[in-house]
């Protein structure tokens, strides 16, 4: 999939028209900027059409997920869903007769993980350090923040691609950790877990962070107390100029960014930042996912 994404990126116009006559339905139960835009722009560039369906304005609020999904499969060639609960994504997958793409749920963010690896792969290609067969195996990636859905997907994709992942995650809820993929990464000798953030950054090729509080709770007054607790715990782990003083690592963030929390304002567009490339690369990653699922391209 990563190789396909690189091909799509470098031969963009060769894939024009591949999705002609196909409709993508994008179902959103949570807010989005990048997932919404990149899937719709991707489908448009491939010659297909995308429909944005807001959960709250649809009859998913009135009926069963499975029944509504069975209907969608009759009109859509492919469905991307950003839902709150992973179980609902699984229910959609069981009910659908067309491919279902997880556009981020409470447990996983797989489309983001592919775009992240595409970004690393492109950055290494530009630096002349991409491995044979376009491999990024051995790349040292450090993630600092909460052990969340983004981390579960990073763990999973790192195990598949041989990326050495260091996690600095003082904030974790054991119930939301995908233990199976974590064990897979551990068994391959690719997982380090530490709270020594300075050392983890100094040794890294890439340093990545994400919000300390899931998007749907960030501005929710009923989470104000929990937000304060997290800020107090996590501020020593903020990515800022002082933390990066001894490091040449490139800086990543899946966005949206909360400046002054997980990342200091000065870092967002610093010389080492590849954050906007990373966000841009969602487009090619989504195209690769859709081309693979609908047309079996590799």
Nearest to ligand CP of 45, 254 (CB atom): 254
Nearest to ligand CP of 25, 95 (CB atom): 25
Q: To 10 degrees, what angle do helices 149-161 and 179-187 make?
A: 30
Q: How many residues bind ligand CP (CB under 6 A)?
A: 9
Residue with tokens 């690592």: 249
Nearest to ligand CP of 39, 237 (CB atom): 39
Nearest to ligand CP of 23, 32 (CB atom): 32
Residue 143, number of CB atoms within 10 A of its CB: 26
For residues 75 and 89, what is the distance between their CA atoms, to the nearest angstrom? 19
Token pair for 70? 């069975």
For residues 167 and 194, what is the distance between their CA atoms, to the nearest angstrom? 6
- Binding pattern to ligand CP, positions 17-56, x when CB under 6 A? ---------------xxxx---------------------
Smallest distance from ligand CP to CB 254, Å: 4
Nearest to ligand CP of 218, 297 (CB atom): 218
Q: Within a 13 Å sphere around the CA of 42, how many CA atoms are in the beta-carbon half? A: 26
Smallest distance from ligand CP to CB 201, Å: 22
- Binding pattern to ligand CP, positions 243-272, x when CB under 6 A? -----------xxx----------------
- Binding pattern to ligand CP, positions 119-158, x when CB under 6 A? ----------------------------------------
Q: To 10 degrees, what angle do helices 2-10 and 282-295 make?
A: 110
Nearest to ligand CP of 104, 151 (CB atom): 104
Smallest distance from ligand CP to CB 245, Å: 28
Task: Assess 280 for contact with ligand CP (CB under 6 A).
Answer: no
Question: Which helix (H) or strand (E) is 49 found in, with range?
Answer: strand 49-54
Do residues 27 and 68 lie in contact, with contact meaning Cβ atoms separated by under 8 Å?
Answer: no
Residues 100-119 that bind ligand CP (CB under 6 A): 104, 112
For residues 272 and 265, what is the distance between their CA atoms, to the nearest angstrom? 13
Do residues 156 and 132 lie in contact, with contact meaning Cβ atoms separated by under 8 Å?
Answer: no
Residue 215, number of CB atoms within 10 A of its CB: 13
Residues of this chain that bind ligand CP (CB under 6 A):
32-35, 104, 112, 254-256
């Amino acid at each position: 999939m990563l190789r396909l994404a690189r091909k799509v990126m470098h031969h963009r116009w060769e894939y024009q028209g591949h999705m002609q006559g196909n409709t993508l339905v994008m179902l959103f139960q949570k807010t989005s900027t990048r997932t919404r835009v990149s899937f719709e722009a991707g489908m448009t560039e491939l010659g297909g059409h995308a429909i944005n369906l807001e959960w709250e304005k649809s009859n998913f609020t009135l009926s069963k997920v499975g029944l509504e999904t069975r209907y969608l499969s009759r009109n859509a060639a492919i469905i991307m869903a950003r839902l709150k609960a992973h179980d609902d994504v699984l229910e959609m997958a069981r009910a659908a007769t067309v491919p279902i793409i997880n556009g981020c749920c409470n447990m996983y963010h797989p489309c983001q993980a592919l775009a992240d690896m595409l970004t690393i792969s492109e950055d290494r290609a530009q630096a002349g350090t991409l491995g044979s067969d376009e491999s990024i195996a051995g790349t040292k990636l450090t993630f600092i923040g909460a052990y969340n859905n983004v981390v579960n997907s990073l763990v999973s994709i790192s195990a598949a691609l041989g990326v050495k992942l260091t996690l600095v995650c003082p904030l974790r809820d054991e119930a939301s950790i995908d233990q199976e993929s974590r064990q897979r990464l551990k068994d391959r000798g690719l997982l380090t877990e530490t709270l020594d953030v300075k050392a983890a950054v100094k040794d890294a090729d890439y340093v990545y962070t994400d919000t300390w509080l899931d998007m749907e709770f960030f501005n929710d007054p009923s989470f104000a107390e929990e937000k304060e607790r997290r800020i107090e715990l996590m501020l020593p782990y903020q990515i800022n100029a002082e933390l990066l003083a001894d490091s040449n690592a490139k800086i990543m963030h899946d966005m949206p960014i909360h400046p002054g929390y997980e990342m200091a304002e000065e870092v967002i567009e610093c010389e080492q930042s590849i954050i906007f490339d990373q966000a841009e690369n969602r487009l090619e990653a989504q195209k690769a996912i859709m081309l693979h699922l609908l047309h079996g391209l590799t």
